[in-house]
Structure formats: C-alpha cells, structure tokens
Structure 1
Amino acid sequence: MTQYERDELVNAFYELRNGPDLVADLAQFHSDFFNFDSASDPTQLDIHFNLPDEPERQIFFAWHRYQMFEMEQAMQELNPDISIPWWDSSEDQSIFSPVWDEDFMGSFDAAWLLNRTYEDNDINLLPTPQEVSTVQAVQDFLEYANSMERGRVHAGAHRWVGGAMPTTLSPRDPIFYLHHTFIDKLWDDWETANPGGSSHIITSMIRYDGTYVFNGEVLPLVDPDDITDSNVLGVFYAENQLASLSDYTVSNSHHSIENFYYQFIIDVGDNFVVPSNTNCQVTSINEINLLPGFTAQSGSSFVARIDTGNQASRLDNTSLLASRINNPNPFEYDPAILDKNAYNPTDPNFEAAISVSPNPFDTFLDLKIEESNRQGMDEVVIYDISGRIVLQKYFDETNQYQLEDLNYLLGGVYIIEILNGNRLVLRKKIVKE
C-alpha cells in the first residue's frame, strides 16, 4: 500500500465511528449472532461453527465476504480510492511489522482500548505457509470451510492478536477486516481452483436477509450462492503487482461512480462491461491496459487515469489525527469481551460432564468430571469481571480437583475456565459469596 492508501484506510475507520458507528454495529451483530446451539432453538441462525454437523446453516465464508463488502462500501462513500487490504498472518508474523505501526493498525489499540496482547509473541498460534497450502488443497467445500474456520489459518490470528480479536466482539479491532480479507482472498483462490465448488443450502443470511436496518437503510437480501464469485461484487484481488479486472458488469448500484483503484498495473478486459448510463473509473499509480473483451457502451462514462498526486487526502487528516490523540473513542463495556476463547469453542458433550460446586462458593470449589468421560483436566483459570486473572493452577490430568483457600477473593461474579492440554473444555460464571 502507498502511504496515501494507508492514511485513508485508517482515517476511514476513525470517521466511521462518528455518527451511526458502523464499526460498533457490525461488531455487536457479530457478537449477538456468533454461535448458537441449534438443538435448543433450530430457528435461530448464527454465523460460526455450524460445521460439520449443521451444513444447512453454514455461512462462514459468504457472511464474512459480505461483511467486508459492507465495510468497504461505507469507506468508499468517504473516499472512492479506499480498499481493504489483506494481512497474511502466515508470512507477516512479527509484532514489529509495519502492520502494527502507530500510523497504521497500531493507533487503534490505545484509542479504542482494544488491549491486544499478541500472545507474548507466541507465533505458534499463527499458521505456516504450508498449513495454508494444506487447507487450500482440500477439494470438498464443506470440509474446506470447516478446516478453514476451526484451524489456525483463520482462528489462529484471532487468538494471537488478543484483546478483542479472540472474542465474539472481534470486529471492534480493524485488524479483523484485514485478516478476514485474507480469508476471503483464500476462498476466492479456492473457488478459482475448484470452479463451482462452493455451495450453500441456506438461501439468505442473518443481517443480509432483507430485514436488517442500519442508519435508516434496509440492507439487501443476499443469497450466499450468489456471491461465491467475488467478482460479482466488483472485488478483484491483485497479485504480483497486477490487477486483472474481468467478467464484471458495472451497475452503480452502490455508488454513482464505480472506482477501481490500485497502485499496480491494471488490465481491464475479458468481458468487463460498462453499460449505457453507468459511470466507471479505473485508477492506477502505474499503468492501465485496456484489453480485448473490454466494452464501454455508448452512453456510458468511462475514465482511465494515472494518479500522480496520490498523497493528497480526500479526508481532513489534520482534524482526524487530532481526534485520534485528543478524543479517543473506546467501545462501551460488553461482558462478551471476556470470552477470550470464542474461536476455540468448547465441546458441549464434554462440558455437560463437568460440575463446579458449590456455586455460589465461599472458600473452596470442587471440580469433577464424570468417570465415564475419557478426558480429564489439567489447568484451571479464574478471571474477575474485568478479565484479570485472579487464579491459575496447573496439575497432572485428573477427573477431580479441589480449589482451596479462595477466601481471599472479594464477593462478586467471576469466570472460571477448565482446560485440557491448552484446550478449553468449560467456561462458566461463578459467584463468590
């Protein structure tokens, strides 16, 4: 990205927090509909972890693709040159990466109280390039979607960044959008390698079901099968310094002028059509090639231009920079921010086999796992309501353990987590008398 593009992206995130606050709305929706047990209410749809058991409900790739599109369209209302880039966490794994610079993604941590931890620099949570290749080689769509969602390629970055990212409120952190743009690009690559391989049983998606209203506008009904090709949305991923725009018809359904802005060489052709009464602009910092297959029909407006002055901001950088420093905009407290293992879900069968008593408790807690369960526990963590660890115990794997001498804890609500081999098997609220 050029410095201009970085500045405009950062400014757009800040600007969208003013007024209706799309960032907060998307984060809250994502949290409210993150993951439900369909056995308790089969009519309640959710976004995450529907595979492998509930293929009729799975929308992981498609829902996030349209979420990225909704955010990018809002940014382009501020500046049509903005696009959300991707963060490849299999290659870019350093806390000293430019991604985290204070003039880029780093500025949000303090301003919005995101409390990133980068998991003490433990890059073992992040995927390797080989892991990405392995997941991408899966040919069955449902198996691919499940492996992607639950594995380190997707969940690893959430857990590594820490703060809001491993919680259901992860879209509070702008890095969420750079991460999920990477996931969307991988899906785009997979669909290119497996044409027509993506398919969904469900025909609309929560939020994008034609009923949800944001800022006075009803969001569209979106069939996930209609957006398995990212080109349908006018989304083209550039690689190797080349953006190839093809198989797309300009519609102006979102903006009066559709603008495609890249710092790279842009090839426009192969059934890229600008119909009559539509407006399109293609902008590069380097070079634009109009190839056979490109059509600008009579009565359309098409402009191809080289941006030689890309350092000039369309947004008021001075005032926005001042607002970052002098008027930070932290999010309102939501208890979901304490769910630091949202992307490492518990096994509901295992969870049902564990008892924590008494609750409310005073000086001790008994932890028991049914003898019939072949898994045990080897770690217990208790958090106060602010998310601070107040107790952490490691021990040899067992089915029964007693936490003693808890009289030092103040009365109130706490969260207890029980783990087995770093895998979360129970999280619940407990009350100290």
Structure 2
Amino acid sequence: MEYLIVAAAAVVLVFLVRANLDAAVARRVLPVLLAAFVVRLVVHVLVMRSGVIDYGGDNLGYEGRAVGIVEYWRQEGFQFVTADEIDTLTSVAVPCQVFAIVIYLCGGLAPLACTAIVALLACALCIVIYRLARLVGADERSAFLVLVVTAFMPAFLLHTSDTYKDGFNAFLVVTSIGLGVSLSRRFDLHRLLMLVPLLWALWYVRPYMVFMCAVPLILGLVGLKSVFSPRRMLVFAMLLVSAVFVFGGVWEAQLEVAQEQLENGQSAAVRRANGDGRSGVVFEDGGDPWNALGSKVLYTLLSPFPWTEGGLILHLGKIDVLIWYFLLYSAARGCRRLWRRDRATLLILMSFIIPGTIVYASTMANIGLIFRQRIPIVLVTSVLAAVAWSRSSWGEEQPAAAPPCGRPADGGVSKVI
C-alpha cells in the first residue's frame, strides 16, 4: 500500500502540472518536478532515514503524533483531532492528520508514503511560484527559472524530504499570498472562498502565520488599484461586519492563541533552550526580544555566514545561503522594477516579507531554526527575483496578453489547489 500511495502522488503531480500550465510550459515543467519529487524520496531513504546525518527529530515526533491520532480514531471514530483531544497536537494538527490517514491506509508506519505527500506539496508549491511570478510580470523564462530554483533549493528540499511540517506551512502561506495578489488584479468570489480552507489549515500548522498573511490579503481584497471600487468596498465591509458580529468571540480567542505562541517563542527560556548547541546565537538584548533587532535581522536574513562554525548540516546550509544571497540581490532589482511599474503588487509582497522578517528576528536564537523558518520569506522574495531576471521589456509579455496557465489576465493562481 505504501508504494501505491507513492505512485498515486506521482500521478496527482502529473495531473496538477497539466491542469495548471499550458501544454508547452507543462512539457518543460513536468520532467523538472518529477525529478524533484524523486530526489526527495531518494534523500529521504538515503540521507534522512539512513543515519548518514544527525538532524531533525520533530519529523519523528510528528509521526508519533500521527500514530496517536490513528489510535484515537479506532477508539472514538474518524474525526478531525485537535489539541482539545490530544494535547501534543498544538499547532501541528493538519500535518499529523495527513500522516495519520496515510498510516491508517498502510496499516502501520509508512514514512516513505508520508514523505511522498510532502514532496507532492513541495512540487505543487513550485507551480504556485511559477504562476505567481508570471502574475507579477516575470516572463516565461524567468518564471521557469525560479520554479527550478525553488524545486532544488537545498533548505526547501531537505525539509520536504521527510515528515516535517515546513512544506505544509510554505505551501499554505505562499498560495494565500498568491491569492491576495490575484484578488488585487480582479475580484473573484471563488478565490476569496478558497482562502477559507487555506487559512483554516494554516491555523493548524503555524497559527501566527495566519496573522502574518492578514495584511497582504486585506490589501489584495480591498484592491489597491481600484481602492474606491464600490463592489470591492461593499463586499469587504460586509465580510468585516459579519466577522465582527458572528465570529467576534472566536477571533478574540484565536488572536490570544497566536499571541501566546509568539510570546512563547520570544520568551527568554525558549530562546535560551533554542540557543543550546553549536548553532545557537546569544544577543546582548537584556532579555527583551525587541532589543538588538538590527543584529537579529541580519542573522535572520543572512546566516549561516561563511565563517560560522557548526555541524555538517550548517555547512551544507552555506550552499543554500549563497543562492539566497543572489536571490536577495536579484529581488532588490525586481523591487526597483515593480516600484516603477506596479507599486500595488510590490506593497502586497513587501507587507509579508518585512513584518515576517521582523517577527522571526524577535525569536532569533538558533541559525538552524531560522534556516527553516525563513523558507516562506525566501520563496516570496524569489518571485521578486524572477521579475528582475525577465529579459523582455516590461509590459511586453504580461499574463493578460499571454496567459501562462490557460486563464485570463489575473493568471489564476488559485487553480493549482
């Protein structure tokens, strides 16, 4: 059964590529993503589970929780299990639930099949990145290039080659941001409704990320290019009023949960615990997570530095960070280009990148953790890099004139889900 699930995941990947990309683009993309899918399975077997490296631990913890969910189902019946039923599921209910379904179908632990699901999500995210790059103005060549970079970016590859939750988090965050950009181009109730399950799932992966996505989504929903559009403003006002009156107490409770999670990550005890080990970093901030923020931002964005000492994974991470440096340089050029031509889209993307970086910096204590946590920031930033890599003159090859995925001007990022 385990191998059958792996094969089914590969078939779904083929379907996603062909359903979301034009035939000519799909012929180029499919071999790349199939290779990325297989490489993740190989890394899982030969590296992550072979004992070659001493890395991780939470991946095994998620598997253990998934086994607990299966046992709960056998006793109480099939249902969505949260921390209310199993207290160890705090912030990881969705990934563990997915792994539990696989384990249930296979009749026992099935790490390869679980990894196949994570690899499928990673490859689906590459399609989202391609479509988002085309949506913001990158030409086909540059969008394809950023897809390839995303597929084989070492940090992203490593953390989607086992049962980590980073692939779930990145997929949900980047897809939500993509929908926000799409909504800023053209209001679409279908895309708006798609945000509901995405944000719901994200809440059960990393709750605070829902609030980090809130500003770009609101900007996209209001519609920066037509801020005084009566229809947009009316729909936004109705949704806001409904949320306040119908779900006011719920939102207040959820906000408290996210705030508690952030405060826990910023607490001195947690930062001290995370700082243990060879990749720990101690800042002279007097115990205040918001002090020494400049140094923390530098470490959040640019570490591990070439001279940083640490284990094998940290040294391998230096390959990843060199690619990241180039992406940052290219993204700066892309920002200048968007500033001249499409400030609304630039504002939406930066409203996630900048606050996200600052929030992560306030919890900075370990290079290895930041190496993983900044993955969504890296991926959204890479879209700006694709804009800089475009060879065609701006406006010469826009999604409206040459729809990359068989849909009209807005690019239809949501279709990949």
Higher relative contact order (CA 8 A, sep 6+): 2
Point out the structure with the larger helix share.
2
TM-score (norm 1): 0.25
Point out the structure with the larger strand share.
1
Larger radius of gyration: 1
